[in-house]
Amino acid sequence: MTLLFSPLSFRSRTFRNRLWVSPMCMYSAVDGVPQRWHRTHLAQFASGGAGLIMAEATGVVPEGRISPRDTGIWSDEQRDVWAEIVSDVHERGGMIGIQLAHAGRMASTWWPWAAQRGTVPVAEGGWPTVAPSVIAFEGYAAPEALDAGGIERVVTGFADAARRAVDAGFDVLEVHGAHGYLLHEFLSPLSNARDDEYGGSLQNRARLLLRVVRVVREVAGEDLPVFVRLSATDWAEGGFTPEEAAQVGRWAADAGADLVDVSSGGILAGVKVEYRPGFQVPFAASIRSSGRVPTAAVGLISSGAQAEEVLSSGAADAVFAAREWLRDPHFGLRAAHELGAEVPWPPQYQRAHWRD
C-alpha closest to that of 183 among 256, 102, 241, 108 = 102
| 102 contacts: CB under 8 Å, gap ≥ 6 | 59, 60, 61, 64, 154, 157, 158, 176, 181, 182, 183
The model carries a pTM of 0.96
Residue 101 counted as domain residue? yes
Residue span of the structural domain in which 301 resides: 8-353
Q: Cα 109 to chain center, whole Å?
A: 19
11: burial class by Cβ within 10 Å (0-12, 13-18, 19+)?
A: middle
Position 356 scores a pLDDT of 47
CATH for 136: 3.20.20.70
Residue 2 counted as domain residue? no
181 is catalytic: yes
C-alpha closest to that of 32 among 2, 77, 1 = 77
| Options 27, 140, 181, 275, the catalytic residue | 181
Residue 132 counted as domain residue? yes
pLDDT along the chain (356 residues), means of 10: 95 97 98 97 97 98 98 98 98 97 98 96 96 97 98 98 98 98 98 98 98 98 98 96 96 97 95 90 94 92 96 97 97 93 84 66
C-alpha closest to that of 256 among 323, 187, 198, 210 = 210
Residue 81 counted as domain residue? yes
Pairing relationship of beta strands 318-321 and 19-21 according to DSSP bridges: parallel
Q: What is the DSSP letter of 276?
A: -
| 50 contacts: CB under 8 Å, gap ≥ 6 | 17, 19, 20, 21, 94, 325, 331, 332
| 328 contacts: CB under 8 Å, gap ≥ 6 | 48, 334
Question: How open is the CA angle 216-26-311, to the nearest 5 degrees?
Answer: 65
Residue 160 counted as domain residue? yes
Residue 240's identity, in one-letter code, is: F
Quote the CA–CA distance of 74 and 156 in Å, as a whole number.
11
Q: What sign has the CA pseudo-torsion 65, 100, 248, 210?
A: positive
Pairing relationship of beta strands 130-131 and 8-10 according to DSSP bridges: unpaired
Residue 3 counted as domain residue? no
Position 325 scores a pLDDT of 98
Residue 194 counted as domain residue? yes
Residue 228 counted as domain residue? yes
Structurally, the chain folds into a number of domains equal to 1
Position 342 scores a pLDDT of 84
Q: Is 216 helix (H, G, I), strand (E, B) or coil?
A: helix
